[in-house]
Chains A and B, each alone.
Chain A
Amino acid sequence: MKGEIFNIIEKFIVESFGEKTFEIIYQAALPNLETKEPFVGPKTYPDKDLITLHIALIQHLSLNSDEILFKAGKFAFKLLAEKIPTLMATYHHPRDLLLSLNDVIHVEVKKIYPGAITPEFKTTLCESGDVIMEYRSPRKLYTFAEGLIYGCGDYFGIITKVTTNIDTDQLGEYGIFHVEFKL
C-alpha cells in the first residue's frame, strides 16, 4: 500500500477524532507495525500495517469496521483528487470519472506512484445512465471503495446512491456496485 493512503488515513483520523486520538492509536499500533518510521507518500508499505492501524482505531473507539472504512473512503476522495488536478479538470460528472477509473485514473495514479496496486474495476454504463462497477481486489476494501464513490459524488456536487452486492463466497474480493446519480 502506498504511503499516501496511510497519510490520508492519518489526516482522516486527525480531522475526525483529533490529534490526540491519532497519537494514542498510532502509539498503540506501533509495536505491531512492520514500518517503524513515519509513512511517506511515494513509498510502498505492507498492507498489513494498514490493517494494524485500522484495528487499533476500531478497538480504541469501539467503532464498526465497515463504517470507519466507508467514512475514510469518502474523506479520501477529495485528497486523492488533489493529486491529479489536471486530469480532474477534464471531468464534470462522477459518471465520466467512474467509467474511466481503470483505463485513465488508475493509469495516472501508477505514473505518480510507480508500483501502486490499484483495485480492478469493470464498469458498464446502463441505458438509464447508472453505472455498474464490478470490483475486484485481494485487499477486500470494498467499503472503502464505496466511500470513495460517494466522495466522488460529493466532489462534483451530485447526489450519488450506491447499492452494493458483495460476493461473500469470494471472501469479499469481488463485488458489484450499482451507482445511481440524482441531480
Chain B
Amino acid sequence: MSLTQEEILRRRLERSEIRVKSLELLLEEKTRDLYLEQIKIEDANRKLMSVLQSLNTAVLVTNEHMEIELVNNSSEQILGISLVDLFQQKLSELLPLDELQTITEDAFYLIHGLEREILFENRTTGKKVPLLISISSFFFKQETAAGLVCQCTDLTKRKALEQSVLQAQKLESIGTLSAGIAHEINTPIQYIRDNTVFVRDEVPQLLQLLNEVKNCDGITCSLDTLKGNIAKIDYDFLIEQLPLALDQTIEGVNSVAKIVRSLKEFSHPGSQQKEPINLNSALEGTITISRNEWKYVADLEFIPDLNLDLIPCYPGELNQAFLNIIVNAAHAVEHKIKNGVFQKGEIRVATQALPDGALIIITDNGTGIPKSAQDKIFDPFFTTKEVGKGTGQGLALVHRFIIDRHGGKVTFETEEGIGTTFKIFIPYKVDLFKGIYEEAA
C-alpha cells in the first residue's frame, strides 16, 4: 500500500475529529448521568434525613473528637437542649458515662452496642427523665472509627408500663394468695369473736354484782347474800378467763393487723425510683402473706441478720421476687409430701450482711430442680409445674428484678430429691444504674 505523508495525516486528522465528536457526546452523556446520579444521591440523602428526623429517639452523631456534628429534632425535645447548643457540645460532656470520659479517640472502635440506663435532667423542664443510651462507633472510608452514633430513648412511658405490669403481677399474686390470706385472717377473727362474745355474755353478771356491792347497805343486803351471788356466777373462773380472753383478742387483732399491713406493703405500687428499705422487714412481710401457701406443707424458719443496713432498691420488685421463690419452695416440698417422702418439709429463709451488699438465702428440702430444666428455669414461660399451675413467669421475673433492675446476682444449687437453695445478692451500689442509685441515695 502506497501512502503519502499527506494522506496519512489526513486520515489521522479525520479519525481525531471523529474521536473528538465521540468524546463530546460521551462527555455530555456522562454529565447527564452524573446529574441524574447527583439527584438520586440528594433524594437518598433527604430521605435518610427525613427518616432520622422522624425518629422518636434522639440521635447524636459525633466526629472523631466526640464533638456532636449531626442531631435530629427529637434530640431537642428529649434532652431539652436547642439544636444550636447541641452542636457546640462534646458527647462526653453531655452524657455522664464513665466509658466516654475514659476512652481515647484511637480506641473508639471498642465502643460497640454500649447500652446504659441513666436519669437525665431535661435542661428545659428540669425534669429527670429515664433514658436508654445506646452508643456505637461507626466507620467511614478509613480504618479508624470516624465517630460515634448515640441514641437516647426516653423510657418514661416504658417505665410506666413496666410499673403497670408489675402491679398487675402483684395483684395476680394477691389474687392467687387471697384464699389463703382470708383463711389466715379468719382464724384470729374467729377467736376474737368467741372471746368478745364471752366477754359480752359474762361481763354483765360481774357488773351486776359490782352494782350490788355498791348498793349493799348491810341491812337489805347481807354479806351472805353477796357471797351467794358471787358463787352463782363462777367468779373465780371469770376473774381468771376474762383477762385471758382480752389478751387473746388483742393478739388476734395484732395478727390481723400484721397480715393487712404486709398485704398493703406488698400491693403498694411502689416508687419509680429506688428507696432504702430494710430487707428483713420486707422478707417478714412476704413470709406473712404467703403463710397459707407453706404452713401446711413446711415449717418455715426465718433467720435475719440484724446487722443488715438499709439497701436502695425497688421494694415491690424484691417482695415479688422473694414471694415467687418462697411459693416455688412450698410447691417443691408439697410435691415431695404427695410422693410420701415425708409429712412436712422445711423452708429456711436467711439474710446475711456482706461488705458490698446483702445476701438472701432461701433453702427448701423439696424435690429439687431436674437437671434437664436447670438451664431454663429463668427463661420466660418455662415451667415444670402441671398445666394450669405455673405461668413460667415467676423465676423469669426474679431474674429480671434482681439482675436487670438491681444489678444483683441470683444463683441456685439444687439436687434432685434433696432440695434447692436460691442465693440472691443485692449490691449496695450499682454502676449499671448509677444515676438511679444516686437519685435514691
Contact = CB atoms under 8 A, between A and B. Distances in A.
Interface stretch (B11-19, B82-90, B115-123, B429-437): B11-19
Interface string A63-97: 00000000000000000000000000000000000
A40 interface: yes
B165 interface: no
Interface in B1-51: 1, 3, 5, 7-8, 11-12, 15-16, 18-19, 22-23, 26, 30
B18 to A, nearest CB: 5
Given A19-B8, A20-B8, A37 B22 contact: yes
Contacts of B1: 23-24, 27-28
A65 B11 CA distance: 27
Interface core residue of B7, B16, B22 (most chain A CB under 10 Å) = B22
A38 interface: yes
A28 B5 CA distance: 18
A110 interface: no
B22 A19 contact: no
A42 interface: yes
A28 B30 CA distance: 33
A40 B22 contact: yes
Nearest to B23: A40
Given A23-B3, A24-B1, A42 B8 contact: no
A40 B26 contact: yes
Contacts of A27: 1
Interface string B185-212: 0000000000000000000000000000
Interface residues of A, number: 13
B18 A20 contact: no
A43 B25 CA distance: 11
Given A20-B3, A24-B3, A27-B1, A38 B8 contact: no
B14 to A, nearest CB: 8
B26 A23 contact: no
Q: For the side of the interface on B, what is the size category?
A: 10 to 19
A42 B30 CA distance: 11
A42 B23 CA distance: 8
Interface string A107-143: 0000000000000000000000000000000000000
Contact of B19 (A19, A20, A40): A40
Contacts of B5: 20
Contacts of A41: 23
Interface of B: 1, 3, 5, 7-8, 11-12, 15-16, 18-19, 22-23, 26, 30
26 contacts: A19-B8, A19-B12, A20-B3, A20-B8, A23-B1, A23-B3, A23-B7, A23-B8, A23-B11, A24-B1, A24-B3, A28-B1, A37-B18, A37-B22, A38-B15, A38-B18, A38-B19, A38-B22, A40-B19, A40-B22, A40-B23, A41-B23, A42-B23, A42-B26, A43-B22, A43-B26
Given A23-B3, A24-B3, A39-B19, 15 more contacts: A19-B8, A20-B5, A23-B7, A24-B1, A27-B1, A37-B18, A37-B22, A38-B15, A38-B16, A38-B19, A40-B19, A40-B22, A41-B23, A42-B26, A43-B26
Interface of A: 19-20, 23-24, 27-28, 37-43
- List 10 tightest A-B contacts by C-beta distance, closest first: A38-B15, A40-B22, A38-B19, A24-B1, A38-B18, A23-B8, A19-B8, A40-B19, A23-B3, A20-B3
